[in-house]
Amino acid sequence: MINKNRTKSIVTNTFLIMNILVFLVMTLAGGTTNQVVLVIFGAKVNQLIDLGQYWRLLTSIFIHIGIVHLLLNSYALIAVGQISEAVFGHLKFALLYLLSGIGGATASYLFSEAISAGASGAIFGLLGALVSYGWKNAGMWRSGLIANLLFVIGFNILFGLITTGIDNYAHIGGMLTGLIIGIIYRQQR
């Protein structure tokens, strides 16, 4: 399941540091909940993406709206990122994270007009990839990992449905992207 040669979470830590640095710079620039600051730093804003600012589909995954948002996503990134990076390796993990984040931002763009940002689409992609990659792995089922991941996905989607201000479209888009990438990675073994 986990390659012992890949247990250093270099990429996970890099993404975590990037999120924290962006948060600190945004705080100094006027605050992470300030709409002007969010727009300047690259949050997902549909009207600007319509004008050709497609880069927002990437930059938005490194922006967090408020300290609670940053802390929750940081915890999730550490917990799921370390496992994912150990399973997939550094390069495949980085690609999975970035593509899932873009997939989540794209789903949000397609189905929601709200300004959006955060790493949760990428994190849901990690969850989805681990599920599809390990679906036929008896060891991952016996360890309880797959069942736990399915519970976390289901709980968070349900929580997003009953709570305002959560971009479930980004969560679902990231998860679906991750599911597909996990299947591809499984076939490459």
**Which of 69, 74, 84, 171 is flagged as catalytic?**
171
Identify the CA nearest to 104 among candidates 180, 170, 49, 177: 170
Task: Report how far apart, in Å, the C-alpha atoms of 101 and of each of 81, 107, 144, 178, 179 are.
Answer: 13, 10, 26, 9, 13
**Which of 9, 108, 116, 120 is flagged as catalytic?**
120
Task: Say which amino acid occupies 86.
Answer: A
- Give the span between the Cα atoms of 145 and 139, in whole angstroms: 9
Task: Provide φ and ψ at 116, rounded to 5°.
Answer: -145, 150
SS3 of 135, please?
coil
Q: Is residue 171 among the annotated active site residues? A: yes
- 64, 71 contact by CB (below 8 A): no
Q: Is residue 112 among the annotated active site residues? A: no
- 97, 78 contact by CB (below 8 A): no
Task: Say which amino acid occupies 180.
Answer: I
Task: Report how far apart, in Å, the C-alpha atoms of 112 and of each of 44, 61, 73, 124, 169 are.
Answer: 10, 16, 21, 18, 7
Chain center to CA of 49: 20
Catalytically active residues are: 120, 171
